[in-house]
Chains A and B, each alone.
Chain A
């Protein structure tokens, strides 16, 4: 059998679209992509802020652990001095929240506190 039938039908289809569909679709896609871009941007900022907060918390904890013990200053004392105050003042709200959460949940810091209270 020849390709007559295919040639007769050609590439036409019975499918149609509503009037102005492609114009609307074009702007709808651009809006959807813009939304997606904003979502991606927000996610990047949150990831960055969380990483920075975690790094800060680790640095603070490491500092308190590696500091040679003089027996005269507790972790709380160190945080209360001027340098730490300046450091904390410079922290963003998100970093501060993260730091407080980590500090509250930190067994080492809380354990240290308990020992000081007992003795």
Chain B
């Protein structure tokens, strides 16, 4: 019996590992192929490169029309960082009001907020574009960042509301007795305890704005403003004339920031998803 159990266990592990490898194969292929010389990328089907080169990274980094990928990376980082700060601040403010304060029409606003979570982006797309066009904000980063500073990713408000509801109210009450006003309760008591939810918000905002190809494509057409996603899309020519080595090398690099953040903050990540059902 124990032997049979062990066999079953081993079989289960084997199946899970095999499936895991199959799942990771595309990513591994991307990374390893980016080190293969051009003529081997599509002919050499083995994962491990038989010849090794860094040329693609050097060539790819040169970028497009004299603008290097370094520029695209710093552009993407700037957008993502400003989005993260905006979301963390504006969503936590709104979440505090919804979870702790009494005010008129609270339940109405709260249900409106819930509905906006499900609203497709495209319904507001055209008028928003017209608005930003009127403001002469096309080919600036404002259209990508402003919504975050105005708490338009309502999902994170909900995440934080749920989190704040779990913070004992006695803490607020004793602070009130000590003479703290609402802003002080927010900054001194709620924010420090809210940190895990803020980190979850920060990492998801970072990843989503890093990958937000659609808005970047609509609002940015000047090459010196390009993001990593736009840079890669421009290296890639669907009709088949792409420099595949450079493309794969830059693609590999583009996945790096997101992967690093994931590995560092794994705990917040997986807990965040599990408790709120993100993405």
Is chain B found bound to chain A in the same assembly?
Answer: no
* Chain A interface (Cβ < 8 Å from any Cβ of B): none
* Chain B interface (Cβ < 8 Å from any Cβ of A): none
